[in-house]
Amino acid sequence: MKEIVLDTETTGLSVKDGHRIVEIGCIELEDLIPTKNKFHCYLNPERKVSEKALAVHGYNDEFLSKQKKFKEVGEEFLKFIKDKKLIIHNAEFDLAHLNNELNLFGKKKIENTIVDTLILARDKFPGAPVSLDALCKRFRIDNSKRTQHTALIDCDLLAKVYINLIDQKEPTLNFQNNIQETKNIDLENFEYYQKIIRPSPEEIKNHKEYLKLHLKKNYFS
């Protein structure tokens, strides 16, 4: 099954205030393994970036003014995500901005199946912090490269968080397709997460008693 991990960066918080997208990042997963298929672009928002947003992602007006406008990449973006489940952290925010851009472009709203990892995390860890950084810390995912919010880095981290959230820490391999197109799998940059099963207190106690008994016996025999 193919899914798309998606993230955006914007000029500010709300489309109601006229804010626009400045970056879109997408990473394709196939059976939870990242493929080499990615979609990434910087966008000219045709307006100034707010100070708060600039502090978050660091994309200034001069840099963005040289980028393509959404209408120039919209069709390519829609083709990339077509008929695929979208994995988004705080989907309400990203979808509001994406649908706004599509509306300005004269296109329909996104109708893909959506998985909001923010909702998944809140359901799984009620009352606990569920930001992307907090979830990386919880799952011991290295986010040291995330000095600022950038779409592709956030997508990479979110893919790993998503796998942990659904308790599928070992990639699902589809052996029915004997001649799977492994050339599309990004094995070079893929990090394998092996599920760790920790012993219970009772198992630890029994193990210690076993060692006391058998190690002493073997040592003096």
Q: Show the beta-strand stretches assigned E in the chain.
A: 2-10, 21-30, 33-42, 85-88, 114-116
Q: Helix crossing, 70-81 with 91-104: angle to 10°?
A: 120
Catalytic residue among 89, 149, 207, 214: 149
What is the distance between the alpha carbons of residues 55 and 34, in angstroms, rounded to a whole number?
A: 29
Residue 4 to residues 62, 81, 88, 159, 182, Cα–Cα distance (Å): 30, 7, 9, 9, 18
Catalytic status, residue 149: yes
Closest CA to 35 of 192, 170, 159, 185: 185
What is the distance between the alpha carbons of residues 121 and 116, in angstroms, rounded to a whole number?
A: 9
- 22, 42 contact by CB (below 8 A): yes
Closest CA to 96 of 18, 210, 182: 18
What is the distance between the alpha carbons of residues 81 and 4, in angstroms, rounded to a whole number?
A: 7
What is the distance between the alpha carbons of residues 11 and 53, in angstroms, rounded to a whole number?
A: 6
Active site residues: 149
